[in-house]
Amino acid sequence: MEELLGGSPYVFIGLTCILMGFCAYMTGQALAATWRPMWQAVPYTILLGLSNRFLDFALFEGTLLSVSGFIIDTAVLMVICLVVYRAKRVQKMIEQYPWLYERAGLLNFRESTAGR
């Protein structure tokens, strides 16, 4: 497992899922709150993945150039960022245009039927 992650599973949970996951959460919130397009989450999340790899190496003696570790870390951060982005975008659409849209689940909205 350590070879696949490029470090300890405990470090993966603590550093990637909790610390950097919070950074990805805030990145998704910020992008959606400022009406940025979703594709901008990709380069920001790749940068978060690179910084996560470096922190794993510098603080916990993980493997710096672990390709599988980078891919797994970045994929986890990407999922967090994109889900939060979508949830925040739906919330903003419903709050800003309540006469046009209504919530249709956590990650979806639809045209409002109340005004018809």
CA 22 – CA 80 distance, rounded (Å): 9
Whether 100 is covered by a domain: the verdict is no
Q: Provide the mean pLDDT of the chain.
A: 93
CA 104 – CA 81 distance, rounded (Å): 21
Whether 81 is covered by a domain: the verdict is yes
Whether 107 is covered by a domain: the verdict is no
Enclosing domain of residue 49 = 2-87
Question: Looking at the predicted structure, is the pLDDT value of residue 33 above 80?
Answer: yes
Sign of the alpha-carbon torsion through 96, 41, 54, 15: positive
Whether 58 is covered by a domain: the verdict is yes
CA 108 – CA 15 distance, rounded (Å): 30
Whether 96 is covered by a domain: the verdict is no
Question: Looking at the predicted structure, is the pLDDT value of residue 114 above 80?
Answer: no
Domain count within the chain: 1
| Stretch 85-104: mean pLDDT | 93
Residue 110 in 3-state DSSP? strand
Q: Token pair for residue 84?
A: 């939060």
pLDDT of residue 115: 57
pLDDT of residue 73: 96
| Stretch 14-36: mean pLDDT | 97
